[in-house]
Amino acid sequence: MNYKKIGLNNFQASWFIIDIILAIVLSEYIFTYLSAGEGIILCLGLTILIYVIISGVNMKQGFINSAESLALIPLYVLFTSSLPWFFINQQFLMPAVYSIILALCFWHMHEKNILPEDAGLKGNKLLKYAAIGVLIGICTGPIEYWVLKPAPSFPTFELKYLLRDLIYMIFFVGVGEELLFRGLIQNDLISAFGTKAGIIGQAFLFGVMHMTWRSPLELVFTFFAGLLFGILYRKTGSLTGPIVFHGINNVMLVTILPYYFSGLLK
């Protein structure tokens, strides 16, 4: 028996994508403020629903691509929240978690035949874009520190922790989140909705995914940081600047400024 797919026009397809975004917001809110278990179940249901719907409808490829890249967000929540991380030494927890995100991104790229350079993983003007990222990250790090004011992780500042966190924040957090939100989601949203809407949409989602900090100011900061990441990527065509910017900002936030303002870093 042959089944005929349901056709969606651009207006209907747009609302389908908007509904996915709203469902992600709801899932993250429930996960953060009400029940982590229920939030995980919602993410599982949302992931299944996205793939069921796109398998049964016809719409422009840009909308299909957007739905599939957005499905990576609830998948990311599912994997990072439900795996038995207590078996892993705490100092290796961050690279382990972000390795899952990287694996999801590269799996998606393989399935969609997206080349690394098409997602912004390029080697051109590497030093120039990295330098831009360092300069911006040094400037934004203190702003996020003022928002969150995290305490030092260790009794004293040590160079080995700075070097470790540089590696973690640039090559795991930076690469993972920039590839997901800018290299994949932003590209697909731009294809479906245009440049401005695509950049704003991914920045909104990037902010929402920081809801777990339980800080309204952090949501505002990460939204505007997402805009900067997105604009920098759009202008350069490379993720090098956003990755380094992201990593240096986080190193300033958790590895340098908590010790400086606590008098532990002279």
Higher-confidence position of 7 and 217: 217
Residue type, position 115, single letter: L
Tens-digit pLDDT profile for residues 103-148: 999 999 999 999 999 999 998 999 999 999 999 999 999 999 999 9
* Separation of alpha carbons 145 and 258, rounded Å: 8
Q: Among residues 55, 58, 69, 56, which one has the least CA distance to residue 17?
A: 69
* Separation of alpha carbons 69 and 259, rounded Å: 38
- pLDDT value of position 3: 63
Tens-digit pLDDT profile for residues 77-103: 988 887 777 788 778 889 999 999 999
Q: What is the mean pLDDT of residues 152-181?
A: 94
Sequence-distant (6+) residues with CB within 8 A of 71 are 20, 46, 47, 50, 51
- pLDDT value of position 2: 58
